């Protein structure tokens, strides 16, 4: 099952309830480290359109070798960043 890369969205264990000396439930997924080429392509796409449809997301994910969920999450986060800047 695919995750967005942000475990706080779907933690396997209750939040803040890790057992001492280890973790309870699923391991946290490591944060995605986007390459500069990926970020550049994502930013260029974002400048053209703030929202992606399913087919556009699928194409971009394949081109950048990322999951569709990673693309979706990146766009959500980027829109929030734009909103904060405004």
Q: What is the pLDDT of residue 23?
A: 59
Entry pTM: 0.67
What is the spatial distance between Cα 51 and Cα 86, in angstroms, rounded to a whole number?
A: 18
Q: CATH number of 36-85: 1.10.10.60, 3.40.50.300, 1.10.150.120, 2.60.120.10?
A: 1.10.10.60
**Token digits of residue 84:** 């904060």
- Statement: residue 7 has pLDDT above 50: no
Q: What is the pLDDT of residue 28?
A: 84
- For 11, how many CA atoms within 13 A lie in the half-sphere containing its CB? 9
> Using an 8 Å Cβ cutoff, are 66 and 1 in contact?
no
Query: Per-domain residue ranges for the chain?
Result: 36-85
């Amino acid at each position: 099952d695919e995750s967005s890369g942000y475990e706080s969205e779907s933690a396997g264990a209750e939040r803040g309830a890790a057992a001492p000396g280890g973790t309870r439930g699923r391991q946290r997924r490591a944060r995605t480290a986007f390459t500069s080429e990926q970020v550049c392509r994502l930013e260029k796409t974002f400048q053209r359109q703030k929202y992606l449809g399913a087919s556009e997301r699928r194409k971009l994910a394949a081109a950048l070798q990322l999951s569709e969920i990673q693309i979706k999450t990146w766009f959500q986060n980027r829109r929030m960043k734009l909103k904060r800047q405004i």
